[in-house]
Amino acid sequence: MLQYLRRLTCNYRFFQNSKKIYVLMFHKVNDLNSTYYPGVPIKTFEQLMQFVKQNFTVIHFKEIPDFVENKLKKPLLIITFDDGMDDIRTHVFDYMELNQLKYTINIDTKILIDGKPQYFIQIYDILNHNSKPISYLDDRYMEHPIQISGEKPAKVESAFTNVLSRLKKHEKEDFIARMQQEFGVLQPNYTKVLTKEWIAAQKDNPLIEFGSHSHSHPVFSTLSNDEIIAEITESKQIIEHILDKKVTIFAYPNGIGNSQSDQLLRQVGYEYILYTQDKLNIKATNKFYYRMNMYHASLERAILQMLGILSEIRKVKQKLWN
């Protein structure tokens, strides 16, 4: 299989086009094997990075202008991490140093103040707690209960994500506080996140580039323009203060944005705007980038996803069976 994928990578017609750029999006990398929102296993991540190193030219966003004009033997690829998981420090950092691979970390800066992950991850962390109710209903914010047992984890995750997406900040906090009680998990073992100190220590690390992932990770389609401006300026200021350099990359929370929010991002000084659509970028000079969401347990699936083949298969399946 791996041999086949390697040959496919070499022959893939898009690869001849040096303007094409691959952008990968990771979150967690660990061996915890969580039911909800699991990480990419460490071994899979490392094997994938070997594949990437052999077959791609790995760069930072700010290097794109230097590379697009050149004819390259290997296509361009950018590795990104969202949500500021501590997994980056514990399971990614050393491996990337050893292999001299560049990557981009997009921080939702509220985590640096709270010392815990963004709200969606708090929910998944509570769901991963052992004593799960069979179904869950918070009648203040939900019309119908979400079935937890017997449903596919991804379906449960997205049901909770949908509820939380609509709530304002204080409502999210209310919702999570009640969920903690109902799940009997008053002191949740929340996923660890990166700290200001660690980020500051990477200030001059040539392998790491930092971007913003908003401040409190809201879904932008639910915000007013003023709320968007507050989110994108606050996080920019916090990261720029820590690093003492300009932050020009912005990754949309949940990958959701629109032309109006793009315009606001441009106004406050972001140059590279990252969406999540499991699509390849045909023009590297676009300054809007789609990213492949990487969460696969096996190397083969991860490579198929990276090359855009899994999303093509999904499209074909939908066409044939719906």
The residues binding Zn ion (CB under 5 A) are: 82-83
| CB nearer Zn ion, residue 239 or residue 307 | 239
- Residue 214 Cβ, how far from Zn ion at the closest point, in Å? 8
| Cβ contact 108:253 at 8 Å | yes
Minimum gap (Å) between residue 244 Cβ and Zn ion: 25
Residue number with CB closer to Zn ion (61 or 124): 124
- Give the nearest distance from C-beta 112 to Zn ion in angstroms: 14
178 backbone φψ class: left, alpha, beta (φ>0; ψ -120 to 50): alpha
Closest residue to bound Zn ion by CB: 82
Say how many C-beta atoms besides its own lie within 10 A of residue 261's C-beta. 21
Q: How far apart are CA 162 and CA 178, in angstroms?
A: 17
- Residue 246: CB partners within 8 Å, gap ≥ 6? 240, 269
What's the closest the beta carbon of residue 65 comes to Zn ion, in angstroms? 27
Our CB check for Zn ion shows the closer of 45 and 220 to be 220
Residue 1 one-letter amino acid? M
Question: Considering beta carbons, is residue 83 or 231 the nearer one to Zn ion?
Answer: 83
CB neighbours (10 Å) of residue 298?
Answer: 14
How far apart are the C-alpha atoms of 240 and 190, rounded to whole Å?
Answer: 26
Q: In whole angstroms, how close is the CB of 106 to Zn ion at the nearest point? A: 8
Give the closest residue to 194 by CA, choosing from 272, 107, 134: 107
Strand-pair category, 288-289 with 76-82: unpaired
Reading the block at residue 122, the tokens are: 């708090």
Closer to Zn ion by CB, 202 or 212: give it: 212
Minimum distance of Zn ion from residue 151's CB (angstroms): 23
Nearer to Zn ion, 83 or 262 (CB): 83
Consecutive H or E run containing 251: strand 249-251
* Backbone phi and psi for residue 82, each to the nearest 5 degrees, phi listed first: -105, 160
Residue carrying structure tokens 């509820």: 163
- Residues 6+ positions from 304 with CB-CB distance below 8 Å: 5, 310, 313
Tell me how far, at minimum, the Cβ of 110 lies from Zn ion, in Å: 12
Contact indicator for 213, 257 with CB cutoff of 8 Å:
no
Considering beta carbons, is residue 83 or 157 the nearer one to Zn ion? 83
Of residues 20, 34, 57, 27, the one with CA closest to residue 279: 20
If the CB atoms of residues 5 and 249 are measured against Zn ion, the closer one turns out to be 249
Nearer to Zn ion, 59 or 111 (CB): 111
| Minimum CB–partner distance for residue 82 and Zn ion (Å) | 4
Q: Terminal CA-to-CA distance of the chain, rounded, Å? A: 29
Task: Give min distance, CB of 77 to Zn ion, in A.
Answer: 20
